Amino acid sequence: MANTTQILKGLLEGCILKVVNNNETYGYEICEKLIEFGFKDISEGSVYPILIRLEKKKLLYSVMKKSPLGPMRKYYYLTEEGVTELKEFISSWEEIKKNIDNVLGE
């Protein structure tokens, strides 16, 4: 059967866009949120490359800010393109989920 990691790879970008859309956030906090949502095997090592990729695609931008607990943190925000991409991800996911539910409910 397909490796869960491979399936998640494409879906995590959309999930990260949604987490960032909710409020300003930084990498470690994004990891913590994903774990809270049930992605128990997620690690910073898998999230940070996605954040870099999303920034290169101009779906996110970042700002360095003082942290209340130590060194500066890179906070992430959605660009207008990121908002559009998130809407498209949600729409695509709803369609894929409906189709898979149809197959599994057979």
pLDDT digits (tens, 9 = 90+) for 50-87: 999 999 999 999 999 988 888 899 999 999 999 999 99
Q: Quick check: 86 and 17 in contact, CB under 8 A?
A: yes
CATH numbers and ranges of domains, the chain: 8-104 (1.10.10.10)
Report DSSP letters for the chain, one per residue.
---HHHHHHHHHHHHHHHHHHHS-EEHHHHHHHHHHTT-TT--HHHHHHHHHHHHHTTSEEEEEEEETTEEEEEEEEE-HHHHHHHHHHHHHHHHHHHHHHHHHT-
Model pTM score: 0.88
